[in-house]
Every structure is written in structure tokens, then in C-alpha cells.
Amino acid sequence: MSRNTGDEKKTSNHVPRSALPTRRQFLTSGVSLLAMSASSTLFGAQDEETRAPIDPMRVPGLSPRPYGERSRFERQTRLVAGTFSTTPLQDLQGIMTPSALHFERHHNGVPTIDPTRHRLLIHGLIDRPMVFTVEELMRFPSTSRLAFLECSGNSRDGWGEAQDVTVQALHGLTSTSEWTGVKLSTLLDKVQKQRDATWMLAEGGDAAGLARSVPLTDDVLNNAIVCYGQNGEALRPEQGYPLRLLLPGFEGNINVKWLRRLKLGSAPFMTRWETATYTDLMPDGTAYQFSLVMDAKSVITKPSGQQQLQPGFYEIQGLAWSGRGRITSVEVTSDAGRTWQEARLQEPVLPTCHTRFRLPWRWDGRETIIQSRCTDETGYRQPTRDALINVRGVRSIYHYNAIQSWKIQRNGFVSNIYA
């Protein structure tokens, strides 16, 4: 729906005979021609505009290459704005986010770090303060899991007036990857954590020195990973190369990137990012602090904001996720909330991961509103915007997770509204 590369000329199998090279031309031209700039007279059968062969079965293809790239017909990109960029949720398939499209947020740029010079220091309330190289961490027994990461400021426009933009611009600060590394508990055993160590400062090696206090709960000790891998290769620089902390289900920024130091203590360290920012201001003037878990949220990605529909069949698709575990149910309405239908959850359905939901639907050309609402394994159900605002007001910036409404106008245009 958002692509514009599929016009008939390029996908047609019907090729006029005169446009094809003769057998002799083809044999003498050979593979070396592939390296030359494409010319319609040599290849005869190339599309003028895209320079792709009209019949790829009649032209030898490309050679292997050391590092792959997607087809040049694919144009999905992150949307870059200031100190962050958003994932094109409307273009994703399945539940994984390609590393190149994983959202970014940084506080003074993406540092360039030589992994051979990078060190992780662990100190504080432990018996053995230690320094690890990246190479040493990679030699520890490894662990791997899929997890979503979501910036707690994701969807923050929802607190204000409805913006007429895409799902990517509204909700694109969330992504799912496979993360590989060494369990935090393995390292804390190694340095002999002391009993009264109940908090841990995690500090990044970027030009903000971003640092957060992590409560050392059983949940954290069981699930936290010091990661060096993402989707089968090293972390991307934007994701913390060469080391980051992963706390599945927790707000993005506490999954500290470019991790250089862990300091154990008996109280939170009260850095700027857990006092001045990433605290949720309530209408009474007090603020929630250490609101770390991301509550359940879902959003329909197809169809979604700024897309154009024609009457007929569509499979409604979207993503749902919860920091508190698995998504157990997603309901969808296509008649502005009068009736709700159970959507099908597409496997795999994993804890603290994007979960894809689907529901067949026929748009009859009438104006309507579509919405999704999810429930997670704790029984928590995604709230309406009214219910959320009723408790938290509209000034808390973070953790907006209300039901998203898309209005479909009679002319087929989809836009963001509050309903």
C-alpha cells in the first residue's frame, strides 16, 4: 500500500519479440557486459526507467557479493527526526525488525567504538572488581533470545492533538530483534555480588555517558543479558556496538548501549535519566519514577495512517506486544467499536516480542473506524485513550499505550483520529 514500484510494465511476463537480443548477440556479449553500464541497445530488453531486464530469465544474473543488500526496488526506510529514527511498522513482515530498520534514540550521537579497545568494568558492592574485554565476554557461555525494545517516549504524540501522520511516525519507536550475549547473572556470579547489592548503575560509553539504575530483582537477574549480538551479527552501532544491556520488557533507554561500566550499590543512583527525564508527571504535580516495564500495546499497521484503500478484500494486520510477557489475545473492530472480533495471532507468539495479528476483512466503501486492543498473559488489557488520560492527564510524555483508531474516509483515505 505504501509502495509504488509495482506497476504493470515491470511485472509483466509478456515481452515483445523484437525487444529481445538474438542468441548470437547474447552469446557474444557474455557475462562481462553485466559490469558495463546498462544500455537498452545492448540488452534490448531492459525497462527504460528501472534498468531491470524485462525478462530476467534471458539475462545472466548478478555475481555473489560479500555483504548482502536488499533488492533495490525496496525503499522502506527509517524516518529520521533529530535524535531519533523510527521503524517503518507498516512495511514489516512477521515479527522481526531488520537491524538496518531498528529504531534509534541517542543522547549525544552514535559513538564510534573500536571493539579491541573497549572494556567493561564491574565494581561496587562485589568481592572481585573486574575488567572484561569484548573478546573475553564472547568466550563466556552464550545465551540468545528475541525481545522487543520500545522507547518509553513512543506514541507520545497521543497525549496531544491527533496528528495526521503514518503509523511509523506515531508508533515507530519499537522494534524486535534476536539478542545474543552472556547472562548478567553469569557475570555477577563471577565478580561475586554481595548480598546488599540491590541496585546496579549501567553506564554507556557515549558522549552523554547515559546511565541508569537497574533494580536487581529476580526478574532482572533471570533475564538480563550483556549483549554483543543482534540478529546473527554484531550489534549495530546505533544499538550499542560493541556491548549493550538487554532488560526484556523494560523501557528502551535502560537497555544501556555502548555499555562500559556496571556499578553495584544498595540504592538507586538518581541519574538525570531517572529524575529529570523518563519520569511520568501526573495531574497532581507528582511523578511516577522507575516506571520501567512497558505495558501492553497494539496497533493496526495495515491499513494505517496515510494509506489509500479501494473497496474490496484486505487482511487487517498489526503488531501487539507487552513488557509483562506474552500477548494472549487481540480483538479488532471494523465498525467503530460496535462489534469486536478475535484476531488470529501469527506464530511465533513469544514473551516480550512483537506479535503479529491478522483478520480478514472486506471494505465496503463506507466510512468507518478500525481499532485493535490486546490482552497480555497477566490479564492486563490495553486501555482506551479516555481511560488512560482520565488517570494520567496529558502531560506525562512517556508510556502512552492507548488503543489506536484509524478512520477510513469514503474516498478510502486512512487517517489518525481519537475515537
Partner 1 sequence: MHKSLLVTAGVIGLAFLMTTAVWSADQHDSAVDLGRSATDEEIRAWDIDVAPDGQGLPPGHGTVAQGAQIYAMRCAGCHGPTGREGPQNVLVGGHKSLQTVKPLKTIGSYWPYATTVYDYLRRAMPANAPQSLTPNELYALVAWLLYQNGIIAENVELDHDSLPRVEMPNRNGFRLDPRPDVR
Q: How far apart are CA 386 and CA 295, in angstroms?
A: 16
Among 112, 141, 196, 310, binds partner 1 (CB under 8 A): 141
Min dist CB 307 to partner 1, Å, is 29
How many residues make contact with partner 1 (CB under 8 A)? 60
CB 72 within 8 A of CB 206: no
- Residues in a beta bridge with 365: none
Cα 70 → chain centroid: 18
Looking up cell 538518581 gives 270
Residues 191-210 that bind partner 1 (CB under 8 A): 201, 203, 207-209
Q: Which stretch binds partner 1 (CB under 8 A): 40-48, 263-271, 354-362, 411-419?
A: 263-271
Q: How far apart are CA 272 and CA 11, in angstroms?
A: 54
Among 139, 344, 362, 366, binds partner 1 (CB under 8 A): 139
Count other Cβ atoms within 10 Å, centred on residue 313: 8
Of 281 and 369, which has the nearer Cβ to partner 1?
281
Q: How far apart are CA 230 and CA 96, in angstroms?
A: 11
Query: By CB under 8 A, is residue 387 in contact with partner 1?
Result: yes
CA proximity to 303, closest of 166, 98, 175, 417: 166
- Quote the cell numbers at residue 38: 546498462
Decide: helix, strand or coil at residue 199.
strand
Query: By CB under 8 A, is residue 227 in contact with partner 1?
Result: no
Q: Name 54's Cβ contacts closer than 8 Å, sequence gap at least 6.
A: 12, 15, 19, 45, 46, 47
Of 91 and 280, which has the nearer Cβ to partner 1?
280
Q: Which stretch binds partner 1 (CB under 8 A): 38-46, 221-229, 280-288, 410-418?
A: 280-288
Query: By CB under 8 A, is residue 123 in contact with partner 1?
Result: yes
CA proximity to 254, closest of 218, 290, 217, 303: 290
Query: By CB under 8 A, is residue 380 in contact with partner 1?
Result: yes
Decide: helix, strand or coil at residue 260.
strand
Residues 390-409 that bind partner 1 (CB under 8 A): 390-392, 395, 399
Query: By CB under 8 A, is residue 275 in contact with partner 1?
Result: yes
Q: Which stretch binds partner 1 (CB under 8 A): 6-14, 29-37, 229-237, 265-273?
A: 265-273
Q: Which stretch binds partner 1 (CB under 8 A): 47-55, 90-98, 138-146, 235-243?
A: 138-146
Min dist CB 384 to partner 1, Å, is 9
Of 36 and 387, which has the nearer Cβ to partner 1?
387
Query: By CB under 8 A, is residue 263 in contact with partner 1?
Result: yes
Min dist CB 170 to partner 1, Å, is 19
Q: Which stretch binds partner 1 (CB under 8 A): 19-27, 31-39, 86-94, 292-300?
A: 292-300
Of 90 and 255, which has the nearer Cβ to partner 1?
255
- Quote the cell numbers at residue 245: 544491556
Q: Which stretch binds partner 1 (CB under 8 A): 10-18, 19-27, 94-102, 264-272?
A: 264-272
CB 295 within 8 A of CB 362: no
Torsion-angle region of 349 (φ positive above 0: left; ψ -120 to 50: alpha; else: beta): beta
- Residue 328 phi/psi, 5-degree rounding, is -105, -20
CB 305 within 8 A of CB 164: yes
Of 315 and 386, which has the nearer Cβ to partner 1?
386
Q: At residue 137, what is the residue type?
A: L
- Residues in a beta bridge with 375: 329, 381
Query: By CB under 8 A, is residue 36 in contact with partner 1?
Result: no
Min dist CB 118 to partner 1, Å, is 12
Count other Cβ atoms within 10 Å, centred on residue 410: 9
Q: How far apart are CA 147 and CA 97, in angstroms?
A: 10
DSSP 100: G
Query: By CB under 8 A, is residue 110 in contact with partner 1?
Result: no
- Quote the cell numbers at residue 202: 549501567
Min dist CB 194 to partner 1, Å, is 15
Among 279, 298, 352, 371, binds partner 1 (CB under 8 A): 279
Among 281, 309, 336, 349, binds partner 1 (CB under 8 A): 281
- Quote the cell numbers at residue 389: 488520560
Residues 46-105 that bind partner 1 (CB under 8 A): none
What does the binding site for partner 1 look like in residue numbers (CB under 8 A)?
Answer: 107-108, 121-123, 128-133, 136-137, 139-141, 183, 186, 189-190, 201, 203, 207-209, 211, 260-261, 263, 265, 267, 269-272, 275-276, 279, 281, 283-293, 295, 380, 383, 387-388, 390-392, 395, 399
